[in-house]
Amino acid sequence: MRNRSNVIVRFMAAAGLLWMAACSSSFLGGGWQNLMPGANLEGWTIVDVTADGPLAATPQWSVDVNTGTVRCAGTGGRDWLRCDKKEFADFILHVEWRFDKLADPKARYNSGVFVRNAGDWSIWHQAQAGVENAGYLFGNSPASGEPKRFTTRDQLKGNPLKPAGEWNVYDITCKGKTLSLAVNGVLTTAWDQCEVPKGYVGLEAEGFGIEFKNIRIKAL
């Protein structure tokens, strides 16, 4: 177990250096590509999570061109918004997000950002977004050819997330078999067993109002 922990620490350190080097350049250049959808979600597709029933009759995703944000109303159950530009392999994905602040102090805010997904969500890798239960990676990913659930939640130490109503920054690095997540500039977790070389990126709806902005990607 100690050896395994040391491996994860080394991967996190390497991923952190890679992330800081890539992010040292301005988002206005340096190989960054804007992924924000058009006014009518052009370039993105709402995809059903079939296990949770059909898509809502009224889509819960929209774009506000005035504020430059993608909004999920949180009223249509669980689905995901898939970026259709291409399947990405090695990259850094930058996403900023904030939840609508609810009056209930015990609200269990839930959403996420996807990387290297299958187009139909049969394979998925998620950076969990929330207030307390967040900042780690989990998903269904092939292991020896069979989808298997994984999670890095046990790696978390501390909580760099800002509360509901405030903007948080996720930077997800995918390089070879290693996926890592930085939250508000703090590297929180890494996973070094991803057998999926490329896939789609996307955003999750799971019953809470949430906004996303500054969705950008840099190939590595």
Domain ranges in the chain? 2-219
Q: What is the pLDDT of residue 76?
A: 86
End-to-end CA distance of the chain: 31
Q: What is the pLDDT of residue 162?
A: 96
CB 173 within 8 A of CB 53: no
**Phi and psi angles of residue 81, each rounded to the nearest 5 degrees, phi first:** -105, 115
- Bridge partners of residue 174, in order along the sequence: 91, 179
Per-residue confidence band for 58, with pLDDT thresholds at 50, 70 and 90: confident
In the block, tokens 């139909």 appear at 120
Residue 135 and residue 150: Cα distance in Å, rounded? 14
Q: What is the pLDDT of residue 136?
A: 97
How many degrees, rounded to 5, is the angle at CA 50 between CA 92 and CA 114? Answer: 10
Q: Which of 215, 210, 203, 207 is nearest to 47 (CA)?
A: 203
Q: What is the pLDDT of residue 64?
A: 94
Residue 186 and residue 136: Cα distance in Å, rounded? 12
Q: Which residues contact 80 (CB under 8 A, 6 or more apart)?
A: 46, 47, 49, 114, 117, 121, 202, 203, 204, 205
Quick: pLDDT tens for 168-203: 999 999 999 999 999 999 999 999 999 999 999 999
Pick the CATH number of 2-219 from 2.60.120.560, 3.60.40.10, 2.30.130.10, 3.40.50.11900: 2.60.120.560
Residue 199 and residue 41: Cα distance in Å, rounded? 19
3-state secondary structure of 128: strand
Q: Which residues contact 105 (CB under 8 A, 6 or more apart)?
A: none
Per-residue confidence band for 29, with pLDDT thresholds at 50, 70 and 90: low
Per-residue confidence band for 110, with pLDDT thresholds at 50, 70 and 90: very high
Residue 159 and residue 134: Cα distance in Å, rounded? 8
pLDDT (average), residues 9-20: 48
